[in-house]
């Protein structure tokens, strides 16, 4: 009876403290999760004294691994690079490219005619020059269609889509962060917010335990447990179970990431299409990447064929008039001019190609073929390897806040 009397007196005297415990525990749950989530992404670069005394966000520190995991599955299992090329409608591409293509054609044609027959071209009236330019422009769709076929047949030799995507992410760590944040935005919010009810519930148990024991270890240990357990449980609730499941006969739950599959698929394909696996990045890789010599050789070959086609039946006479060596040199000059223009107008050409490719629709249709495990692989690697660090951070912060509670209580 004395125990109950002392307990009642303690509760009456310190009711404010006991009442505050669940709320403080809820705050611990929220703060530890918020800090853990932000430590995944910030800072982009190492801050502190390298190599160990400091911190760099988990995602930017492992940008290469994250990028490999995020795009590897899509590139290796679901996307055939040739399908991307097949998506291009040449007539639509020519229409979309509009001004930059016409300017390129006009400049190249004028340079070609001036090189082959400078006096003749200058002497032609403007109307006659316009007719020549018009005929050349009319031949472009057929030439692009032919080049598209050549590119498709030799695509593996000129570009590696996986490398393009990974390089884009590794080159700009903020893009890797953006990708993970975009794909897992609501999951991150869930992790932070779920800490409040979880922490509050554990705080009630903490208050009861403190009332019964008054042990100075209760607060820091419960704080550590609150941070650790709620971090761990929140991560599990994101990915488990993969399919809807009832718990205790009434609580229905499905891992939040799997439940949002359609929404995640849409966001992921938009990000990949608009900022990572863009035609502009592909064109840049083809022109400057490790396999650029193969692409340039292929393009040069096509351009020289186009020059021969443009000169038509007059080709033997032109070659005879200016010499075969000069004619060959002119073709190389024209090819170099085209490559230069492509390099300076990569963004314009890429934007036009993007409109003609409809990449998001293709990626979305492919992602729907993913198994649950494959789909989970889009986000899970961001947590898996360093999951223990996030949980440990939660435990340490919870312990420190709990220790602070003890100091306040004992005062």
- Distance (Å, whole) CA 168 – CA 164: 6
pLDDT at 65: 77
What CA–CA distance (Å, rounded) separates 231 from 352? 46
CA nearest 255: which of 339, 190, 328, 176?
Answer: 190
Tell me the pLDDT band of 313, cut-offs 50, 70 and 90: very low
Under 8 Å between Cβ of 169 and 175: yes
- pTM passes above 0.95: no
Q: Report cis status (omega within 30 of 0) of the bond before 241.
A: yes
> Is it the case that residue 409 has pLDDT exceeding 70?
no
What pLDDT sits at residue 127?
A: 79
Residue of higher predicted confidence among 206 and 343: 206
Q: For the stretch 379-409, what's the b/e string if a residue is b when 16 or more beta carbons lie within 10 angstroms of its beta carbon?
A: bbbbbeebeeebbbbbbbbbbbbbbebbeee
Model pLDDT for residues 156-210, shown as the tens digit of each residue: 777 777 777 777 777 788 888 888 888 788 888 888 888 888 888 888 888 888 8
Instruction: Give dist(CA 57, CA 43) in Å, integer.
Output: 5
Give the residue-averaged pLDDT of 383-411: 75
d(C-alpha 371, C-alpha 243), whole Å: 12
Q: Say how many C-beta atoms besides its own lie within 10 A of residue 208's C-beta.
A: 12
- Within its chain, how far is the Cα of 306 from the centroid? 38
- Ranking 109-113, 237-241, 367-371 by mean pLDDT, the lowest is 109-113
Is pLDDT at 53 greater than 50 in this prediction?
yes
Q: At what angle do helices 173-183 and 261-271 cross, to 10 degrees?
A: 160
What three-state secondary structure class fits 90? helix
């Amino acid at each position: 009876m004395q125990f109950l009397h002392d307990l009642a007196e303690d509760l009456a005297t310190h009711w404010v403290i006991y009442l505050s415990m669940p709320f403080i525990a809820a705050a611990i749950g929220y703060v530890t999760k918020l800090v853990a989530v932000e430590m995944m992404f910030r800072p982009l670069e190492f801050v502190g004294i390298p190599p160990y005394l400091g911190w760099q966000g988990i995602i930017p520190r492992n940008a290469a691994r994250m990028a490999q995991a995020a795009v590897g599955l899509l590139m290796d299992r679901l996307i055939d690079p040739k399908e991307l090329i097949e998506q291009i409608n040449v007539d639509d591409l020519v229409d979309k490219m509009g001004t930059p293509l016409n300017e390129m054609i006009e400049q190249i044609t004028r340079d070609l005619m001036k090189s082959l027959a400078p006096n003749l071209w200058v002497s032609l009236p403007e109307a006659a020059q316009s007719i020549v330019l018009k005929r050349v422009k009319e031949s472009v769709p057929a030439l692009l269609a032919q080049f598209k076929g050549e590119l498709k047949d030799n695509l593996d030799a000129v570009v590696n889509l996986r490398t393009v995507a990974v390089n884009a992410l590794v080159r700009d760590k903020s893009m890797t962060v953006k990708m993970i944040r975009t794909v897992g935005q609501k999951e991150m919010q869930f992790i932070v917010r779920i800490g409040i009810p979880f922490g509050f519930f554990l705080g009630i148990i903490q208050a009861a335990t403190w009332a019964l024991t008054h042990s100075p270890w209760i607060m820091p240990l419960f704080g550590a447990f609150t941070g650790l357990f709620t971090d761990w449980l929140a991560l599990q609730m994101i990915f488990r179970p993969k399919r809807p499941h009832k718990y205790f006969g009434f609580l229905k739950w499905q891992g939040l990431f799997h439940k949002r599959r359609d929404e995640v698929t849409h966001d992921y394909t938009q990000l990949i299409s608009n900022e990572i696996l863009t035609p502009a990045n592909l064109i840049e890789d083809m022109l400057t990447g490790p396999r650029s010599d193969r692409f340039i050789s292929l393009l040069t070959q096509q351009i020289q064929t186009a020059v021969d086609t443009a000169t038509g039946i007059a080709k033997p006479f032109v070659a005879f008039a200016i010499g075969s060596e000069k004619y060959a040199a002119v073709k190389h000059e024209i090819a170099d001019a085209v490559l230069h223009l492509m390099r300076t107008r990569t963004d314009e050409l890429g934007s036009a190609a993007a409109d003609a490719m409809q990449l998001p629709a293709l990626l979305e249709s492919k992602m729907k073929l993913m198994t649950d495990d494959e789909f989970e692989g889009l986000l899970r690697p961001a947590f898996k390897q360093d999951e223990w660090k996030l949980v440990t951070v939660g435990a340490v912060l919870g312990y420190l806040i709990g220790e602070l509670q003890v100091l306040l209580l004992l005062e």
